Chain A
Amino acid sequence: MVVLFWVCAIVLVGTAIAVVGSRQPVHSVVGLIVNFSALAVLFLTLSAEFLAMMQIIIYAGAILVLFLFVIALLTVGNQPIETGEGRLAHQTVPAIAAGVAALGLIAFGVRTAWSQSAASPPADLGTVPAFGTALLTTHVFAFEATAFVLLVAIIGVVLMAGRKEIRF
């Protein structure tokens, strides 16, 4: 379990850096697929079986296919973006500094506040029956609200992408 965690951690961090750093968006998507798969394995080590399957199906299946379609739609025969200097180029150094500062602060806080792990979880934590019972009884209102959010997203996307004339 510990070895699996560290292998997945190295894969996650490496592919995350590849996603952020690669110049071609398609390479970023490939890195993101590996990243999401490693995260699904981490969900398995956290005894969240259903979440691991959802991670693969929704993220690596649906969302990344959406990204690939948009990349295929936008970048055919075009020059790559980010060749020249951007107007906000000077924000690189402050961004990295802020990131490192946030990393140090949060890591310090985590070390002091959550160094103790609790006792071992119940045996049925994260199984599909337990997850379904929790989702459809205790949290049924959040479940229905999520359905409404998806409905709003569908209507918004159709409204935005379906229009012919857009002025800026």
Chain B
Amino acid sequence: MPQVPLADYLILATVLFVIGLVGFLVRRNPITMLMAIELMWNAGNLVFAAFARNFGDMTGQVFVFIVITVAAAEAAISLAIVVMVFRHREDVDVDDISVMRG
């Protein structure tokens, strides 16, 4: 069974990361920005998994597992921040949020 070369996985991950990066910079809806961040996490995960197969080592896959866990924690905390801001302000355009004080 022919294998896909490593460089193809890396370039695909690069494309996904750049799409997430541009989306994060361009959009103003914080929920969509968080989804762009998730795209960037996933691009990094793809690189880790590709190198894990390339080197035949499990460490990369374990790292992907830990990154998934941290991404879950990040999504929970940032969505809580969005909910908290929205409860007070009635809109969630990130251009209008310039103060972060408890």
Cβ–Cβ contact A122 & B56, under 8 A: yes
Chain B residues 66-102 with CB under 8 Å of chain A are: 66, 68-77, 79-84, 86-93, 95, 99, 101-102
For residue B6, which residues in chain A have a CB less than 8 angstroms away from its CB?
114, 116-118
Cβ–Cβ contact B3 & A120, under 8 A: yes
Which of A82, A115, A154 has the most chain B CB within a 10 Å cutoff? A82
Beyond A5-B8, A51-B45, A81-B28, list 20 extra A-B contacts (CB 8 Å).
A1-B1, A2-B2, A19-B35, A25-B35, A51-B65, A55-B68, A59-B38, A66-B79, A81-B93, A91-B26, A95-B21, A99-B19, A110-B10, A114-B10, A125-B53, A134-B58, A149-B70, A156-B80, A161-B83, A166-B84
| Interchain nearest-CB distance for B94 vs A (Å) | 8
Cβ–Cβ contact B61 & A134, under 8 A: yes
Report Cα–Cα, A120/B5, bound state, in Å.
11
For residue A34, which residues in chain B have a CB less than 8 angstroms away from its CB?
none
Question: SS class of chain A's interface: helix, strand, loop or mixed?
Answer: helix
- Selected from B28, B36, B39, B58, the residue in CB contact (under 8 A) with A130 is B58
Cβ–Cβ contact B46 & A42, under 8 A: yes
Q: A-facing mask of B15-29, CB < 8 A → 1, else 0?
A: 111111111011111
Residues of A within 8 A of B (CB-CB), count: 91
8 residue pairs, one from A and one from B, having the closest CB atoms: A20-B23, A95-B25, A153-B73, A134-B58, A99-B22, A121-B56, A110-B10, A16-B19
Given contacts A35-B42, A39-B42, A29 and B35 within 8 Å (CB-CB) = yes
For residue A134, which residues in chain B have a CB less than 8 angstroms away from its CB?
58-59, 61-62
Cβ–Cβ contact B61 & A102, under 8 A: no
- Selected from A28, A36, A95, A120, the residue in CB contact (under 8 A) with B22 is A95
| Interchain nearest-CB distance for B37 vs A (Å) | 11
Chain A residues 81-131 with CB under 8 Å of chain B are: 81-82, 86-88, 91-92, 95-96, 98-100, 102-103, 106-107, 110-111, 114-122, 125-126, 130-131
